[in-house]
Structure 1
Amino acid sequence: MPTLLHIDSSALTDGSVSREVSAAFRAAWQAQHPEGTVVYRDLAAQPVPHLDADGITAGFAPADVHTAGQAASFALREELMAELERADAIVIGAPMYNFTIPSSLKAWLDQVILVGRTAGESPSAAGKPVTVVAARGGSYAPGAPREPYEFVTTYLEKVLTGMLGLEVDFIVPEFTLAASVPAMADFVEQARQSRTQALEDAAFKAKALAA
């Protein structure tokens, strides 16, 4: 059966556009794969711990010589890497926090990236499609005043393709704070249009993967 790995990293539960759009992707994917499996990771509700010394060193030592600490840390890495490897498609909700990704998502990436297995010359999940919902409160599009501060798609494109070998596609809802920040009132309509387009893109991309 086909498997979707669905990851959310927004700290918000209500009003999160990245969660809304990733959920739309999931719903469209499930409509095409009613017999499929969804593995869901809410990194805000159940954070993945930061990679520690035991987790790092265990990745480069045989299992039969692992200390108790290494064994415990690597068990989590093994679980997360296996989820990535078993997935046929991945969708990631990645809102912009202070110009980059949430620390919870960075922690997940650090756990799943292991040179010699998921990363390196022959990444074990190479070629799998991943759709990233890169929501942001304002606009960092080409030509925008804050374009140079965009470190979400620029970082994730390098990590997900350059290290994990995934096929990455981005959906970018903008101006998500327009309705709640008075100074952004002029962008409310653009925010609505961007959200609507993102939801349409999510459904289209999920259906396209099934086709």
Structure 2
Amino acid sequence: MHVLRLDSSIQGLASASSELADLAEAAWAEERPETVFTRRHLGTDPLPAEAWAAAATAGYLPAEHRTAAHTAALALAGELAEELCTADAAILALPLYNYGVSQHVKTWIDLVITGGAPGERFLEGKPVILLTPRGGSYAPGTPREGWDHNTGYLVRILADLWGADLTVIEREFTLVGINPALDEFTEATTLMKKAAHQAAAEAGRVLAAR
């Protein structure tokens, strides 16, 4: 069993998404100790932002007209697509930033799409855990309802476009304790955190056992 783990947080050791991924990975490894994990961290080792444009452009150019940048970008796109295709499952820790996906994640998605065949379903039928925390709350009835342009987009890409058998685990209010304006939600946040941690570990166990 080969699992791709992808992190994208810029928070380092304080990352709520990586904390959830650690729990899912640990439970998965406990259930299936023979599992091999391939790890890529888009937050600490971001992909070059200009690579997608170079890779996309190179596809329309004869090989002899491609620059070194075109060739390198195409190779990177192919590597990322292959990395995803060869995984049997994935654990993706992709938090919301500025109401959407981070530039690191968007670059990864664009390069994977460019590196594969048109319409390729890289995750067809594969179990995938999406762990996506948010600093505040975007639930129905809140002032920011409808402002989460991260989760729906990721579900569209991972499940609808790439065919993943997707389990989504969300955690809200990760900025409670950091932003004083959210102090009134401390008690609720403690319960949300506990529930998300339990869900992450359970997802790791259940999907590994399949």
Tell me, yes or no, if the aligned pair for 1:161 and 1:168 is still in contact at 8 Å: yes
**What is residue 190 of structure 1 aligned with on the other side?**
188
Report the Cα distance in structure 2 between the residues aligned to 1:25 and 1:100, rounded to whole angstroms: 23
Tell me, yes or no, if the aligned pair for 1:7 and 1:42 is still in contact at 8 Å: yes
After the TM superposition, which residues 90-101 of structure 1 pair with which residues of structure 2 at under 5 Å, given as runs? Answer: 90-101=90-101
Identity, % of aligned positions: 38
| Helix, strand or coil at the partner of 1:134 | strand
**What is residue 19 of structure 1 aligned with on the other side?**
18
Letter in 2 for 1:49: P
Report the Cα distance in structure 1 between the residues aligned to 2:191 and 2:122, rounded to whole angstroms: 38
Q: What's the TM-score once normalised by structure 1's chain length?
A: 0.90
Q: List per-residue Cα deviations over 1:145-202 (Å, max 9, x = no partner).
A: 2111011111111122232222222111111111111111111111111111111101
- CA pair 63-31 structure 1, distance change in 2 beyond 3 A: farther
Report the Cα distance in structure 1 between the residues aligned to 2:55 and 2:204, rounded to whole angstroms: 34
Q: What's the TM-score once normalised by structure 2's chain length?
A: 0.90
- CA pair 49-200 structure 1, distance change in 2 beyond 3 A: same
**What is residue 152 of structure 1 aligned with on the other side?**
150
**What is residue 178 of structure 1 aligned with on the other side?**
176
After the TM superposition, which residues 44-83 of structure 1 pair with which residues of structure 2 at under 5 Å, given as runs? Answer: 44-50=43-49, 51-59=51-59, 67-83=67-83
Tell me, yes or no, if the aligned pair for 2:79 and 2:115 is still in contact at 8 Å: no
Letter in 1 for 2:150: V
Query: What residue ranges of structure 1 are gaps of 5+ in the alignment?
Result: none
Which piece of structure 1 moves more, 45-54 or 104-113? 45-54
Query: What residue ranges of structure 2 are gaps of 5+ in the alignment?
Result: none
| Helix, strand or coil at the partner of 1:139 | coil
| Helix, strand or coil at the partner of 2:43 | coil
Which piece of structure 1 moves more, 49-58 or 77-86? 49-58
- CA pair 162-62 structure 1, distance change in 2 beyond 3 A: farther
**What is residue 124 of structure 2 aligned with on the other side?**
126
Let me know the Cα RMSD of the aligned residues: 2.0
**What is residue 102 of structure 1 aligned with on the other side?**
102
